[in-house]
Amino acid sequence: MNYNISQLSKISDTNKITLRSWEERYNFLVAERTKTNIRLYTKDDLICAINTKALLSEKIKISSISKKSHLDIQKLVDDKFKDKDNINPQIFIARILRSALNYDRDLFDATIYLGFTKFGLYEFYLNIMFPSLERIGFIWSVKSSVAEHENFVSGLLETKINDITKEIIENKVSKDIWLLFIMAPYIFLNRDDNHFISLFETTKMVGNAEKNIVDNWSV
């Protein structure tokens, strides 16, 4: 699967002018070209662009990032993730997007678990899961013919809902678990366009659910 510069720009949240500048000034993320001179990026290029966006948010300069290999850039993102003092949402978003692109369930689970622990459910959903799902929607708009991708990501969410349901039944549950259970149905898949609908209204629903739980549930 290849991505043109517009697609890579949208998914990685990086301006097309910036991408061209990286290629011309740093020989970084150099795309293959078609016979008509259209840039085509690989999945690994896309993941690298996503990781680079995260590292730039860590105030690491592109002049330094561009000297590293794709794998070294990815390792640096993972090292930031493992830093117990790091609370940068972009690091978590980069890992969630990578898990979706690589069909990596373990990476998804580890990122989600630590995110809930560090940020709390509402902040994690608002600042990390919401923008991640929106950008996964962009990926699906490109990979709409790849059924395995939709099945993988929707399967991850279904598994989470099932896990939450089990915890509600077996344990006394926490307010956060109730909130996640209430929030989960508002993450809809648009079957017509083959991608997630990430509506800003869902954040209001989560906020209202959180207030309702605090006001009405004693745990």
Asked whether the beta carbons of 68 and 17 are under 8 A apart, the reply is: no
CB of 125 closer than 8 Å to CB of 114: no
Compute the distance between CA of residue 183 and CA of residue 3 in angstroms, rounded to an integer.
32
Q: Specify the pLDDT at position 5.
A: 96
**Closest C-alpha to 62, from 74, 73, 71, 78:** 73
Domain positions in the chain: 121-219
Residue 19 reports pLDDT greater than 90: yes
State in Å, rounded, how far the first CA of the chain is from the last one.
48
More confident residue, 152 or 59: 59
- 206 contacts 125 by C-beta, under 8 angstroms: yes
Least confident of 7-21, 47-61, 166-180: 166-180
With cut-offs at 50, 70 and 90, classify the pLDDT of residue 152.
Answer: low
Mean pLDDT for 140-162 is 62
Token pair in block for residue 63: 């002049």
Report how far residue 49's alpha carbon sits from residue 11's, in angstroms, rounded to the nearest whole number.
9
pLDDT, position 142: 75
Read off the tokens for 4.
Answer: 């043109």
| Mean pLDDT for the stretch of residues 42-61 | 97
pLDDT for residue 148 is more than 50:
yes
Beta strands in the chain (DSSP E): 32-33, 39-40, 188-190, 195-197
Q: What percent of the chain has pLDDT over 70?
A: 65
For the ranges 44-53, 78-87, 142-151, 191-200, the lowest mean pLDDT is seen at 191-200
Please report the pLDDT score of residue 123 as a whole number: 83
What's the confidence (pLDDT) of residue 82? 96
Q: What is the pLDDT of residue 167?
A: 54
Residue 197 has pLDDT above 50, yes or no: no
More confident residue, 21 or 152: 21
Q: Centre a 10 Å sphere on the Cβ of residue 141 and count the other Cβ atoms it contains.
A: 14
Q: How far apart are CA 208 and CA 41, in angstroms?
A: 41
